[in-house]
Every structure is written in structure tokens, then in C-alpha cells.
Structure 1
Amino acid sequence: MRIAHAFLLSALFTGAVVAQQAPMTAPGSKNVAAVTGGTYTADAGHTLVEWTVDHLGFTPYFGLFGNITGTLTLDPKNLGASKVEVSIPVAEVTTASAGLTKHLLKPADAGKSADFFGASPAPARFVSTRVTPSGQNAKIDGNLTLNGVTKPVTLDAQFYGAGKMPAQMGGKETVGFTANTTIRRSEFNIGYGIPMVSDEVKLKITAAFEK
């Protein structure tokens, strides 16, 4: 009996260890069938805009905008009717240099305009005007308002993944995209340092929306 009891305990213990080591599966996948229609809200903690400029011809330099809010309206049967609106808190810009971050938000000198965004800048805003899908990609035309100026911008967007979050993580349906575009900051009256710091700004977007 003792041998049988010990064997049973050993089997139970081994089974528990195997169960604990069972591989986990990410809830999201590149399965477009997992996307459902409706209005999604931007996941502010996982939506980012990376901006990159050329610095003196030596290196690219990049920073980030986060805490982005907004909505995405999707109809999988009519992707062309999709709409997206997001607000980007420029005042929360992040770089690897405390000095540069401070300069980006430096108040304007008396009688002059700010070098970059200035103190307490208004959030930037992107509002789509047309979505042209192509497979799992899409061109998203819209208006970008930055530094008080509104200009048309086209995003090259790619579907990244969709699925439902685990119950212990909120259980929300989530869909994610990446997108890229290029703007000229001089068109938004941010001309400091051109051409030493490039006029061209590359934007790389990672966006998660949930409902």
C-alpha cells in the first residue's frame, strides 16, 4: 500500500508540474475573422506614435507620443466605411534626452514663436476622411491638426492582430494595427533647425483598439 500511495503522489505531482509548464497562447492572432464590427476605443497604454528626424546627417533620432485616446468604427463587411479619430497629447512627448524634451516644450521668447511645440501645446488630432482597403492593408486619408495647423495626411496601415483578451485581463475584444506616414514639420509651422534637423518627419504608429 505504501508503494502504491507513493506512486500515486508521484503521478499527481508530475501531472501538476506538466500542467504548470503547459505553453501559453497569445489571445491575439493575424486571423481577420476574429475582427467584429462596432466602435472600439483606443487602448491608451498600448497605442504609440514614434517620430523620427534626421539629425545633422549623422543619425536618425526618434521620440514618442503616448497616452493616445480616440475611437475606431469598423464593419468587417464594409471596411471602406471605417472611421478613426484620435487625439495625441503633444505635451507628453518623450525622448531619451531630458534637455531635448525640455527644449521641445520650451515657452516662446517674447515676441517670437516657440522653437518647437512650446509650453502647454494643444493635443494633435487625426480624423479620417476615407479608408481604402486592400487585403489586410489600407490607405487611410485624413486631416492632421498639429500646432494649430490642419493638413491632409495619408496613412499606410496594416492589420496586425485581433482576438479577445482573457477574462482576468478584462475580456475585451481587441484589434491592432501598424501604420506609417511622412510629414513636413515646416507645414505645421515647426521650422526650427531646418535643414540641420530634417524638415521631413517619419511617423510610425502602433495602435490597439478595444471594445
Structure 2
Amino acid sequence: MPEVIFPGPEGRLEGRYHPQKQRDAPIAIVLHPHPQFGGTMNNKVVYNLHYAFYQMGFTVLRFNFRGVGRSQGEYDQGIGELSDAASALDYLQSMNNNSKHCWVAGFSFGAWIGMQLLMRRPEITGFISVSPPANMYDFSFLAPCPSSGLVINGAADRVAPPADTVTLVNKLHEQKGITVTHEETPGAGHFFEEPHMDPMIDTVQNYVRRRMTETTR
């Protein structure tokens, strides 16, 4: 998988880019967990989400937020990281301007950033939020949530308690015109340690395939 370096707001950003042969393949961007708690684009959940989208025919980009790995800059409380994500999406779109579908997937802190990106980029047609930390971050900006997506969390998550995720999903359910699907993986913690990773990825792929089938009818 080619390593890529592309321009971000604070200098270069380091990524992994996995293109399809089809010129009009759908695109997806995958966002990693908190930089100050060891989050990188090589996190297991992020890595598995990346390949899950690639296996479904998406051209995929994951990258390191500023100050992580070879990405320049330093942690910026989520504000700069949102700008990084916007730059990454710009880069991905510039290489795939025939693509008609654009998805964003994020894990933990990356789920929070991904949902903010969703609000700013109307071309995003679907989202995957894995273990969104609704207890730590304010998600009230999702009013209204602009597109349908999947929220998935572990029933035994001690980092982002399931009750807070349920509260978040219930608020999103009140909005008209979109459908937010919520799946909870029994026994799984925040990081979907084995044997919970494969069932989570299966849930994501089943959801995305169903959505893509609906849009191509």
C-alpha cells in the first residue's frame, strides 16, 4: 500500500492510500483515535476499517493527524485535527474526481472528528462512527445530522460508556430524513479486542454494502 505525503494546514501529513482500478470507485477516509493517548493511523480498528472499505471496492485513505508519526505540527484540541481531516478529504477527492460516493469512518476521537467533518462537507454520503466518546465530547453540533450512518460500540466499553452512546443515538433518531443505525457488540470493550474485531468489521461491511446497494438501484 503506497505511503503518501500530502499538504495539511500545518505542513505535511503522512498517510496510506489504497486506490482501486476503477476510476469512479467510491472513496472513504478513516480517522484514528486520540493522538495524546497513542492513537495513530496504524491502530488495529483503523487498519481493519481501512481494509474493510477497500475490500468493498472503495479507494481508501487513512492518515496521521498533526504531530503523529511523520505528520508535522502538534496536537490542537481537535480544532486543527478537523482541518487536517478536511485537507485529507481534499487530497482524496483531487485524486478521484469521478467518484460519486464519499464516506467517512472514525474510531473514538476520530469518530468525533469524523462527525464534525460530516457537518462541513455535504458531499459525504455516509458515515461509520466506532466507539464515539459521547461522554467526553460534545456532539450537539449534529443538529441536524446531514446524512445517514452507523454508530457501533462495545457493550462492555469502559472508556465511552454505552449509556452515553445510546443517549447520542436517541438524539439523532429524532431528526427527520436520515436514518442512524445503532449496533452494540456484546462483550466488546472500547478497542474491540479479539474475538470482537471480526464481528464489528462484519457489521460495518454489511451496513455499507446494504447502503451502497440501495443507492445503485
- The reply to whether TM is greater than 0.5 is no
TM-score computed with the length of structure 1 as normaliser: 0.27
The structure whose residues are more often strand, as a share, is 1
TM-score computed with the length of structure 2 as normaliser: 0.26
The structure whose residues are more often helix, as a share, is 2
Q: Which has the higher contact order (CA 8 A, sep 6+)?
A: 1
